[in-house]
Amino acid sequence: MANNPTQLSLLQDDIRHRYDTLSKRLKQVARYILDNSNNIAFDTVASIAQQADVPPSTLIRFSNAFGFSGFNEMKQVFRQHLMEETVSYTERARLFRQTATDEAPAAPESPAEILNVFSMVNAQALQQLAMQVNPEQLEKAVKLLDEADNIYVIGLRRSFSVASYLTYALRHLERRAFLIDGLGGMFAEQLSMVNPKDVVIAISYSPYAREAVELVELGAKRGAQQIAITDSQVSPLAAFSDVCFVVREAQVDGFRSQVASLCLAQTLAVSLALNNARREPEA
Protein backbone atom coordinates (compact mmCIF):
# COMPACT_ATOMS: atom_id res chain seq x y z
CA MET A 1 0.00 0.00 0.00
CA ALA A 2 1.26 3.50 -0.87
CA ASN A 3 2.26 5.93 1.83
CA ASN A 4 -0.71 7.82 3.21
CA PRO A 5 -0.97 11.49 2.21
CA THR A 6 0.17 14.22 4.56
CA GLN A 7 -0.73 17.90 4.32
CA LEU A 8 2.67 18.52 2.76
CA SER A 9 2.37 15.75 0.17
CA LEU A 10 -1.10 17.02 -0.80
CA LEU A 11 0.30 20.53 -1.26
CA GLN A 12 3.21 19.19 -3.34
CA ASP A 13 0.81 17.20 -5.51
CA ASP A 14 -1.30 20.32 -6.04
CA ILE A 15 1.78 22.33 -7.05
CA ARG A 16 2.84 19.65 -9.54
CA HIS A 17 -0.67 19.36 -10.95
CA ARG A 18 -1.00 23.13 -11.51
CA TYR A 19 2.60 23.80 -12.51
CA ASP A 20 1.92 24.29 -16.24
CA THR A 21 -0.75 26.89 -15.51
CA LEU A 22 1.55 29.10 -13.40
CA SER A 23 3.28 32.27 -14.58
CA LYS A 24 7.04 32.25 -15.18
CA ARG A 25 7.82 33.75 -11.77
CA LEU A 26 5.47 31.40 -9.91
CA LYS A 27 7.03 28.44 -11.74
CA GLN A 28 10.42 29.49 -10.34
CA VAL A 29 8.95 29.42 -6.84
CA ALA A 30 7.25 26.07 -7.50
CA ARG A 31 10.49 24.48 -8.70
CA TYR A 32 12.42 25.75 -5.68
CA ILE A 33 9.78 24.59 -3.21
CA LEU A 34 9.49 21.13 -4.75
CA ASP A 35 13.26 20.66 -4.82
CA ASN A 36 14.07 22.16 -1.40
CA SER A 37 11.24 21.25 0.95
CA ASN A 38 13.44 21.03 4.06
CA ASN A 39 14.94 24.47 3.43
CA ILE A 40 11.47 26.05 3.36
CA ALA A 41 10.99 25.17 7.03
CA PHE A 42 14.36 26.60 8.10
CA ASP A 43 14.97 29.65 5.90
CA THR A 44 13.53 33.15 6.12
CA VAL A 45 11.22 34.53 3.45
CA ALA A 46 14.01 36.84 2.26
CA SER A 47 16.44 33.93 1.92
CA ILE A 48 13.93 31.77 0.06
CA ALA A 49 13.13 34.63 -2.32
CA GLN A 50 16.83 35.15 -3.00
CA GLN A 51 17.44 31.42 -3.64
CA ALA A 52 14.40 31.19 -5.93
CA ASP A 53 15.53 34.41 -7.69
CA VAL A 54 12.21 36.17 -7.20
CA PRO A 55 11.04 39.20 -5.19
CA PRO A 56 9.52 38.40 -1.76
CA SER A 57 6.17 39.65 -3.08
CA THR A 58 6.17 36.72 -5.53
CA LEU A 59 6.25 34.29 -2.61
CA ILE A 60 3.17 35.96 -1.20
CA ARG A 61 1.39 35.70 -4.57
CA PHE A 62 2.40 32.04 -4.80
CA SER A 63 1.05 31.21 -1.35
CA ASN A 64 -2.18 33.09 -2.08
CA ALA A 65 -2.60 31.08 -5.28
CA PHE A 66 -2.60 27.89 -3.20
CA GLY A 67 -5.09 29.08 -0.60
CA PHE A 68 -2.79 30.51 2.09
CA SER A 69 -3.12 33.98 3.58
CA GLY A 70 0.64 34.50 3.35
CA PHE A 71 3.92 32.68 2.78
CA ASN A 72 4.59 32.22 6.49
CA GLU A 73 1.33 30.27 6.74
CA MET A 74 2.52 28.02 3.91
CA LYS A 75 5.85 27.57 5.71
CA GLN A 76 3.97 26.09 8.68
CA VAL A 77 3.02 23.10 6.51
CA PHE A 78 6.71 22.34 5.97
CA ARG A 79 7.59 22.93 9.62
CA GLN A 80 4.78 20.69 10.81
CA HIS A 81 5.88 17.91 8.46
CA LEU A 82 9.39 17.99 9.93
CA MET A 83 7.94 17.85 13.45
CA GLU A 84 5.70 14.90 12.59
CA GLU A 85 8.59 12.99 11.03
CA THR A 86 10.70 13.50 14.17
CA VAL A 87 9.74 10.82 16.69
CA SER A 88 11.82 12.00 19.65
CA TYR A 89 10.16 14.77 21.65
CA THR A 90 13.60 16.10 22.60
CA GLU A 91 14.51 16.33 18.92
CA ARG A 92 11.20 18.07 18.20
CA ALA A 93 11.98 20.74 20.75
CA ARG A 94 15.49 21.16 19.30
CA LEU A 95 14.06 21.31 15.78
CA PHE A 96 11.56 23.96 16.79
CA ARG A 97 14.38 26.15 18.07
CA GLN A 98 16.24 25.66 14.77
CA THR A 99 13.22 26.64 12.66
CA ALA A 100 12.27 29.60 14.84
CA THR A 101 12.95 32.93 13.14
CA ASP A 102 12.23 36.60 13.72
CA GLU A 103 8.99 36.01 11.76
CA ALA A 104 7.70 33.53 14.35
CA PRO A 105 6.83 34.18 18.00
CA ALA A 106 9.35 33.17 20.64
CA ALA A 107 8.86 29.74 22.14
CA PRO A 108 7.69 29.48 25.75
CA GLU A 109 10.58 28.53 28.00
CA SER A 110 9.47 27.98 31.61
CA PRO A 111 6.91 25.35 32.71
CA ALA A 112 4.54 28.16 33.71
CA GLU A 113 4.84 29.79 30.28
CA ILE A 114 4.25 26.44 28.58
CA LEU A 115 1.16 25.83 30.73
CA ASN A 116 -0.20 29.28 29.94
CA VAL A 117 0.31 28.86 26.21
CA PHE A 118 -1.19 25.35 26.10
CA SER A 119 -4.17 26.52 28.17
CA MET A 120 -4.77 29.41 25.79
CA VAL A 121 -4.50 27.45 22.54
CA ASN A 122 -6.58 24.57 23.90
CA ALA A 123 -9.33 27.01 24.90
CA GLN A 124 -9.30 28.32 21.32
CA ALA A 125 -9.38 24.77 19.91
CA LEU A 126 -12.39 23.88 22.07
CA GLN A 127 -14.24 26.99 20.90
CA GLN A 128 -13.53 26.02 17.29
CA LEU A 129 -14.72 22.47 17.94
CA ALA A 130 -18.10 23.65 19.22
CA MET A 131 -18.55 25.96 16.23
CA GLN A 132 -17.33 23.59 13.51
CA VAL A 133 -19.00 20.30 14.47
CA ASN A 134 -22.25 19.87 12.56
CA PRO A 135 -25.09 19.14 15.06
CA GLU A 136 -26.78 16.82 12.55
CA GLN A 137 -23.58 14.82 12.12
CA LEU A 138 -23.27 14.62 15.89
CA GLU A 139 -26.83 13.31 16.20
CA LYS A 140 -26.19 10.79 13.43
CA ALA A 141 -23.02 9.51 15.11
CA VAL A 142 -24.81 9.03 18.44
CA LYS A 143 -27.67 7.21 16.67
CA LEU A 144 -25.22 4.88 14.91
CA LEU A 145 -23.51 4.06 18.20
CA ASP A 146 -26.83 3.61 19.98
CA GLU A 147 -28.05 1.07 17.43
CA ALA A 148 -24.76 -0.80 16.94
CA ASP A 149 -24.44 -4.45 17.99
CA ASN A 150 -20.68 -4.03 18.43
CA ILE A 151 -18.42 -0.98 18.39
CA TYR A 152 -14.82 -1.35 17.25
CA VAL A 153 -12.50 1.55 18.14
CA ILE A 154 -9.28 2.11 16.19
CA GLY A 155 -6.62 4.57 17.37
CA LEU A 156 -2.92 3.92 16.93
CA ARG A 157 0.18 5.85 17.98
CA ARG A 158 -0.76 9.24 19.41
CA SER A 159 -4.47 8.53 18.74
CA PHE A 160 -4.31 5.53 21.09
CA SER A 161 -5.11 7.53 24.22
CA VAL A 162 -8.34 8.93 22.70
CA ALA A 163 -9.37 5.48 21.46
CA SER A 164 -8.60 3.94 24.85
CA TYR A 165 -10.71 6.52 26.68
CA LEU A 166 -13.62 6.09 24.29
CA THR A 167 -13.53 2.30 24.67
CA TYR A 168 -13.41 2.70 28.45
CA ALA A 169 -16.40 5.05 28.42
CA LEU A 170 -18.44 2.81 26.09
CA ARG A 171 -17.78 -0.22 28.30
CA HIS A 172 -19.10 1.74 31.30
CA LEU A 173 -22.26 2.26 29.27
CA GLU A 174 -22.49 -1.53 28.90
CA ARG A 175 -21.83 -1.37 25.17
CA ARG A 176 -19.99 -4.14 23.39
CA ALA A 177 -16.93 -2.01 22.63
CA PHE A 178 -13.60 -3.41 21.48
CA LEU A 179 -10.28 -1.57 21.23
CA ILE A 180 -8.29 -2.58 18.16
CA ASP A 181 -4.71 -2.37 19.40
CA GLY A 182 -3.06 -4.92 17.08
CA LEU A 183 -1.56 -6.92 19.96
CA GLY A 184 0.74 -9.50 18.42
CA GLY A 185 0.25 -7.89 15.01
CA MET A 186 -3.34 -9.16 14.87
CA PHE A 187 -4.98 -6.02 13.48
CA ALA A 188 -7.09 -7.76 10.83
CA GLU A 189 -7.93 -10.66 13.15
CA GLN A 190 -9.33 -8.27 15.79
CA LEU A 191 -11.69 -6.82 13.20
CA SER A 192 -12.46 -10.09 11.41
CA MET A 193 -15.97 -10.46 12.90
CA VAL A 194 -17.21 -6.98 11.97
CA ASN A 195 -20.50 -6.89 10.06
CA PRO A 196 -23.10 -4.37 8.77
CA LYS A 197 -24.77 -4.17 12.21
CA ASP A 198 -21.55 -2.91 13.78
CA VAL A 199 -19.87 0.50 13.93
CA VAL A 200 -16.17 1.20 13.45
CA ILE A 201 -14.76 4.37 15.04
CA ALA A 202 -11.39 5.29 13.53
CA ILE A 203 -9.19 8.03 15.00
CA SER A 204 -6.10 9.11 13.09
CA TYR A 205 -4.24 12.31 12.26
CA SER A 206 -1.56 13.23 9.75
CA PRO A 207 0.71 11.37 9.18
CA TYR A 208 -2.06 8.74 9.13
CA ALA A 209 -1.26 5.31 10.53
CA ARG A 210 -1.13 2.84 7.65
CA GLU A 211 -2.72 0.10 9.75
CA ALA A 212 -5.64 2.35 10.67
CA VAL A 213 -6.37 3.09 7.01
CA GLU A 214 -6.19 -0.61 6.13
CA LEU A 215 -8.62 -1.46 8.95
CA VAL A 216 -11.04 1.24 7.81
CA GLU A 217 -10.93 -0.23 4.30
CA LEU A 218 -11.64 -3.68 5.77
CA GLY A 219 -14.59 -2.30 7.73
CA ALA A 220 -15.97 -0.73 4.55
CA LYS A 221 -15.71 -4.03 2.66
CA ARG A 222 -17.66 -5.75 5.44
CA GLY A 223 -20.40 -3.11 5.26
CA ALA A 224 -19.90 -1.68 8.76
CA GLN A 225 -21.02 1.87 9.55
CA GLN A 226 -18.00 4.10 10.15
CA ILE A 227 -17.27 7.20 12.21
CA ALA A 228 -13.99 9.03 11.58
CA ILE A 229 -12.27 11.48 13.91
CA THR A 230 -9.45 13.05 11.93
CA ASP A 231 -7.83 16.35 10.97
CA SER A 232 -8.78 16.93 7.33
CA GLN A 233 -11.64 16.42 4.91
CA VAL A 234 -9.11 14.80 2.56
CA SER A 235 -7.90 12.37 5.24
CA PRO A 236 -7.93 8.79 3.92
CA LEU A 237 -10.38 7.95 6.72
CA ALA A 238 -12.93 10.45 5.42
CA ALA A 239 -13.54 8.56 2.17
CA PHE A 240 -14.87 5.51 4.04
CA SER A 241 -16.83 7.26 6.77
CA ASP A 242 -20.57 7.70 7.23
CA VAL A 243 -19.80 10.49 9.70
CA CYS A 244 -16.53 12.42 9.63
CA PHE A 245 -15.49 14.82 12.39
CA VAL A 246 -12.60 17.12 11.43
CA VAL A 247 -10.87 18.22 14.64
CA ARG A 248 -8.32 21.04 14.64
CA GLU A 249 -6.14 20.33 17.64
CA ALA A 250 -4.14 22.99 19.45
CA GLN A 251 -0.42 22.98 18.83
CA VAL A 252 2.61 24.49 20.55
CA ASP A 253 6.17 24.11 19.29
CA GLY A 254 5.22 21.12 17.12
CA PHE A 255 3.52 19.33 20.03
CA ARG A 256 -0.14 18.74 19.26
CA SER A 257 -2.73 18.47 22.02
CA GLN A 258 -5.57 15.94 22.27
CA VAL A 259 -7.96 18.03 24.32
CA ALA A 260 -10.46 18.71 21.52
CA SER A 261 -10.52 15.06 20.42
CA LEU A 262 -11.08 13.89 23.99
CA CYS A 263 -13.86 16.45 24.38
CA LEU A 264 -15.56 15.10 21.26
CA ALA A 265 -15.17 11.50 22.48
CA GLN A 266 -16.64 12.46 25.85
CA THR A 267 -19.55 14.19 24.10
CA LEU A 268 -20.38 10.98 22.22
CA ALA A 269 -20.20 8.91 25.41
CA VAL A 270 -22.31 11.28 27.53
CA SER A 271 -24.90 11.56 24.76
CA LEU A 272 -25.22 7.78 24.77
CA ALA A 273 -25.54 7.82 28.57
CA LEU A 274 -28.45 10.26 28.31
CA ASN A 275 -30.11 8.01 25.73
CA ASN A 276 -29.82 5.14 28.20
CA ALA A 277 -31.36 7.27 30.97
CA ARG A 278 -34.33 8.23 28.78
CA ARG A 279 -35.09 4.56 28.15
CA GLU A 280 -34.91 3.41 31.78
CA PRO A 281 -38.56 4.24 32.67
CA GLU A 282 -39.68 2.11 29.72
CA ALA A 283 -37.94 -1.00 31.06
Structural domain harbouring 41:
7-99
14 in a structural domain: yes
Q: Count the helices and strands in the chain (H runs, E runs).
A: 13, 7
Domain count, the chain: 2
8 Å CB contact between 217 and 244: no
Mean of pLDDT values over 135-155 = 95
Among 249, 47, 230, CA closest to 155: 230
Mean of pLDDT values over 59-81 = 86
- What pTM value is reported for the model? 0.64
CATH code of the domain covering residue 57: 1.10.10.10
119 in a structural domain: no
8 Å CB contact between 55 and 230: no
The percent of the chain in helix, strand and coil, each rounded to the nearest 5, is: 60, 10, 30
Residues 248 and 164 in one domain: yes
114 in a structural domain: no
Residue 3, pLDDT score: 42
Task: Give, for 201, the enclosing helix (H) or strand (E).
Answer: strand 199-203
2 in a structural domain: no
Among 14, 244, 249, 277, CA closest to 141: 244
Q: For the segment 161-181, what is each residue's pLDDT rounded down to a tens digit?
A: 999 999 999 999 999 999 998
Residue 72, pLDDT score: 84
Among 39, 59, 40, CA closest to 49: 59
8 Å CB contact between 212 and 221: no
Q: For the segment 223-281, what is each residue's pLDDT rounded down to a tens digit?
A: 999 999 998 777 889 889 999 998 988 776 667 789 999 999 999 999 999 988 887 76
Average model confidence (pLDDT) across the chain: 83
pLDDT score of 89 more than 50 = no
Residues 72 and 133 in one domain: no
Residue 1, pLDDT score: 32
Q: For the segment 90-126, what is each residue's pLDDT rounded down to a tens digit?
A: 554 555 555 455 444 555 567 887 788 778 878 888 8
Residue 102, pLDDT score: 45
